[in-house]
Amino acid sequence: MELQNQTYFSELFLLGLSEDLELQPLIFGLFLFMYLVTVCGNLLIILAVVTDPHLHTPMYFFLSHLSLADIGFSTTTVPKMLANIQTNSKSISYVGCLTQVSFFFLFGCLDSLLLAVMAYDRLVAICHPLHYRVIMNPRLCGLLVLVSFLISLLDSQIHCWMVSQLNFCTNVEIPHFFCDVPQLFNLACSDTSTNNIVIFLVGTISGFIPIAGIIFSYSKIVSSILRVSSSGGKYKAFSTCGSHLSVVCLFYGTGLGVYLSSAVSSSPRKDAVVSVMYTVVTPMLNPFIYSLRNKDIKSALGKVVSRMT
């Protein structure tokens, strides 16, 4: 189907977080800083895992892919917003909007699935320590990452296809700093009931499976830890899960907060401000959470920084 026949225009407009011109330099500087911290922090994690032989384990293998997904997640939305502020433009092409939707759900779903895979890795490490290396062999680890990517790709393409079926009769002004799918549905002049049902089902499945896997893994982990007699053994077991559990709470907590705020608030602009938490802040904090609580990561990061300087 031709683009013009479906949408009647070739551009959309992102209104951003605020239309106050005096706030634009502050927003630009703040988001540029957070984006650079996100990219540099996650790249350092990846370099540390790749270059340090002590980190060539399944846990850090998954962590490096989580860092890569975090970089992609932030890169999908932040650079376009910074470019629009710098050029005093609010436009984004229709193709660019579809691309943004596709990559947003690709990396977002991949983040969620990798967190579930990492929970399974901790389950095997704590509940079956003697068989850990046999169970979590390189082939299984690679297969888990590949399956997570393929599921995320399918999820992103379904969302992208749903958006491509929408008809817009007027210029579309999105009260957000990226192409937010619920906002696009609200602005469409065609019937979106079927689209909403499909998106709800896909979102429920893709969200429920990782959460259920994480809850199941940690229920087994807690049950196993409580059977440990020594307090030192319990602390050691809990400490290996602390960083991952912190990231899980941050990722799903901010996502749930955005969902609840959008349910009780009728202001799309407020929803955009709240969504900054899971689109920008969470990917930025993940490297700090893993590095500050992990001696191996801190040691490897120190070696990487010393080689770079």
CB-hemisphere CA count at 13 Å for 154?
10
Q: How many domains does the chain have?
A: 1
The CATH number that applies at residue 164 is: 1.20.1070.10
- How much is the mean pLDDT over the chain? 84
Q: What is the average pLDDT across 268-296? A: 79
Q: Is residue 2 part of a domain?
A: no
Q: Is residue 275 part of a domain?
A: yes
Reported as a single tens digit per residue, the pLDDT across 233-267 is 667 667 778 788 888 888 888 777 666 666 565 56
Reported as a single tens digit per residue, the pLDDT across 119-159 is 999 999 888 888 999 999 999 999 999 999 999 999 999 99
Paired tokens of 35: 């984006």
Q: What is the average pLDDT across 9-35? A: 84
Q: Is residue 295 part of a domain?
A: yes
Give me the pLDDT at residue 10, please: 66
Q: What is the average pLDDT across 10-24? A: 80
Domain span at 290: 7-308
What is the side-by-side order of every strand in the sheet holding 172-174? 91-93, 11-14, 172-174
Buried b / exposed e along 183-206 (16+ C-beta atoms within 10 A): bbbebbeeebeebeebbeebbeeb
Q: Is residue 1 part of a domain?
A: no
Highest average pLDDT, of 16-30, 121-135, 222-236, comes from 121-135
Report how far apart, in Å, the C-alpha atoms of 201 and of each of 106, 206, 255 are.
17, 9, 17
Q: Is residue 253 part of a domain?
A: yes
Beta carbons within 10 angstroms of residue 170's beta carbon: 9
Reported as a single tens digit per residue, the pLDDT across 63-93 is 999 999 999 999 999 999 999 888 888 888 8
Q: What whole-number percentage of the chain has pLDDT above 70?
A: 89
Q: Is residue 149 part of a domain?
A: yes
Q: What is the average pLDDT across 44-55? A: 88
Q: Is residue 45 part of a domain?
A: yes
Q: Is residue 218 part of a domain?
A: yes
Give me the pLDDT at residue 2, please: 39
Alpha helices in the chain (DSSP H): 3-7, 24-51, 58-87, 94-127, 132-135, 138-164, 181-187, 193-226, 231-264, 268-276, 282-292, 295-308
Give me the pLDDT at residue 261, please: 62
Three-state helix/strand/coil letters over 167-199: CCCCCEEECCCCCCHHHHHHHCCCCCHHHHHHH
| Cα–Cα distance for residue pair 157/99, rounded to 1 Å | 10
Q: What is the average pLDDT across 107-123? A: 93
Query: Quick one: CA dihedral 69, 71, 76, 77, positive or negative?
Result: positive
